[in-house]
Amino acid sequence: MLLNEKTALITGAATGIGEAVARLFASEGARVFLLDRDAARNRSVAESIRSAGGWAQDFAGDVRRAAEIAPAVASAIEQFGQIAILINNAGIYPRQPFLGMAEEQWDEMQAVNLKSMFHCLQAALPHMVARRSGKVVNISSVTFHLGMGNMTHYVTSKGGVIGLTRSLAREMGEHNIHINCITPGAIKTESEARFVTDEQARQFMSSQSLQRRLLPLDVARVCLFLSSELSDGMTGQCLNVDGGWVMY
């Protein structure tokens, strides 16, 4: 079991990629702390993990607010004395043409997709520094490499995630803390269905080298790699999980 007795905090854990990460990590022996503002769905995922024999605890919280992240971090430290892994996954991606975008829409996107990671990192990193050990995985997006219309606020926020990853990896390396990033492509999730038509999804897939829809589990498996000892020689890296859409 790659994560036996490791403690992991996962944001946006109630659905999609976050849920897949939580389930996979628990199956690999991790004690998973699930943070999501959808309290009912988050609780359901945690209960399902426990029913399958895993360890999970759910917390309802909005990642835009540091005070709502703190209880999950405090609980992990109190119970197990560690946060070994942080998965910064929470995010939103509504479409909006730039010239019709309100300042509030821009600010909301940056707050959820980027500033939330600032809050989570400031809460978790001191404990990792004290233990001289830690793995952080930030979820960005392949759209940063592509540039996509009607998503300027989203692509900007995800580019910020890559910058955060690279800079902080330099700063935290001396403390033996690994900070890496994943740029998912078009992932088949419940959230995607609210913004992407079936025709658009087929167009995305046609741009991939692998001609199948990617699933949350595809991303979760790379999170597992980056959170385990298998990636001990890596930090500051950005890995595409996009079916071979973008290559660099």
Cα separation, 113 vs 151, in Å, equals: 13
Cα separation, 109 vs 172, in Å, equals: 26
Closest CA to 8 of 45, 49, 55, 52: 55
Amino acid at position 218, single letter: D
How far are the Cα atoms of 51, 180, 213, 231, 234 from residue 174, in angstroms, in the given order?
A: 40, 15, 39, 17, 13
The one catalytic residue in 59, 154, 204, 245 is: 154
Amino acid at position 190, single letter: E
Beta bridge partners of 137: 87, 180
Cα separation, 216 vs 223, in Å, equals: 11
Closest CA to 214 of 195, 224, 201, 225: 201
CB-side neighbour CA atoms (13 Å) of 136: 32
Classify strands 177-184 and 31-36 as parallel, antiparallel or unpaired.
unpaired
Beta bridge partners of 58: 34
| 154 catalytic residue (yes or no) | yes
Catalytic residues: 154
